Amino acid sequence: LATDLVTDRKIVQPRKAVLEMPEYHPPLAGRDALRLDFNENTFAPSPRVVEKLQALTAEGLTKYPEREPVERVVATHFGLKTEEVLLTNGVDEAIHLMCVAFLEADDEALIATPTFFMYDVSIKMMTPHLRKVQADATMEFPFERFMSAITDKTKLIIVASPNNPTGATVSKEHLLAIAAAAPHAVLMVDEAYYHFHGESILEDLSTVPNVIVARTFSKAYGLASLRVGLLAGNAALLKSLRKVSSPYNVNGVALACLPVAVADEEYLSWYTEQVRIGRQRMMDGLRELGVPFFPSHANFVLMNIGPKHAALVGAMRRQGVLLRDRSTDPGCDGFVRITIGIEEHVTRGLDALK
């Protein structure tokens, strides 16, 4: 019956940008193995978050979630004012809100590739004028060429530091230079992997009015399933973002857990240290195995496997370890990414690789 209806009626077409966009189904099925494929926390969130979850009652489920009190707590934690932050449904939504709030159809947006694919998706929903500056074979951020790609029409620039999937960073000096070269644009610095690197532009926000920082609770905090991200920056820019966000974009369970998660700094530094030590072990191990890789400042390492990339991913799966083939990313033919987690999981990843 459904098929008849579809063929009999003329189906309404979406906007051209939507029609042209490929559907994305994250390869999450059959992941009953060690998941070193999605840059997740491989262990668990803070035990205090687990306690908080267990203490939640069903009563709260009937109420609309109240975001603002939690934004107050989070803003204070980051040394910011409440009007300088916005909680989002993951950084995924934050990227979308940035595009909706700032991009007109004839504006240009600028990103460096390879990078997180959601920038491309959200930008193209608003404007076809997306400029991409490709990294060279080193996979370092192509600063000089990126600066040259800024035009009078550039309105939104997105830079991830550390970047996914390369693990490369952009120095604070370079970020400030980009912001200064494009005062007519907003620069979004995606610091999803900040904790594994340690350098942030957050403390400079008061001096650069056109920079917005994004942070996630999906990685170091281990709360990917709760879907929480944070945007921070100039209060006037944040006001625009608040206008385009749904007032209930972050769910009540996430909001209940967030103050507990940010307060447990001991857990955060423990997990971050696990990743830093594990990343060094992984890079040393890869060097011993003669596997070329790109030095990483995040919770993953990008390896250059070459023509046998798919065979390696398949063989690792049979050993019970999932990796992410990044071969289809621009300039990444033969590249495979491995997540770094707690010591035990790094050991299992390395043993399987050997």
Which of these segments, 88-96, 106-114, 167-175, 250-258, binds ligand PMP (CB under 6 A)?
Answer: 88-96
Number of residues counted as binding ligand PMP (CB under 6 A): 13
- Which residue minimizes CB distance to ligand PMP? 90
Task: Give me the least distance between CB of 31 and ligand PMP, in Å please.
Answer: 15
For ligand PMP, the closer of residues 218 and 296 by Cβ is 218
Best CA proximity match to 341, nearest among 292, 284, 288, 281:
281
Question: Can you tell me which of 86, 175, 192, 352 binds ligand PMP, judged by CB under 6 A?
Answer: 192
How many CB atoms lie under 10 A from the CB of residue 163?
A: 27
How many CB atoms lie under 10 A from the CB of residue 318?
A: 9
For ligand PMP, the closer of residues 40 and 108 by Cβ is 40
Binding pattern for the stretch 199-218 against ligand PMP, x by CB under 6 A and - elsewhere: -----------------x-x
Question: Can you tell me which of 34, 35, 36, 39 binds ligand PMP, judged by CB under 6 A?
Answer: 39
Binding pattern for the stretch 302-331 against ligand PMP, x by CB under 6 A and - elsewhere: ------------------------------
For residues 267 and 52, the answer to whether their CB atoms sit within 8 Å is no
Please list every residue from 127 through 186 that binds ligand PMP, using CB under 6 A.
160, 164
Question: Can you tell me which of 33, 181, 202, 224 binds ligand PMP, judged by CB under 6 A?
Answer: 224
Task: Give me the least distance between CB of 53 and ligand PMP, in Å please.
Answer: 18
Calpha distance 120→129 (Å, rounded): 11
Please list every residue from 94 through 133 that binds ligand PMP, using CB under 6 A.
116
Confirm or reject binding of residue 301 to ligand PMP (CB under 6 A). Answer: no
Question: Can you tell me which of 90, 167, 222, 341 binds ligand PMP, judged by CB under 6 A?
Answer: 90
Task: Give me the least distance between CB of 118 and ligand PMP, in Å please.
Answer: 7
Confirm or reject binding of residue 229 to ligand PMP (CB under 6 A). Answer: yes
Confirm or reject binding of residue 271 to ligand PMP (CB under 6 A). Answer: no
Which of these segments, 89-97, 106-114, 121-129, 133-141, binds ligand PMP (CB under 6 A)?
Answer: 89-97
Interface contacts to ligand PMP, rule CB under 6 A: 39, 90-92, 116, 160, 164, 190, 192, 216, 218, 224, 229
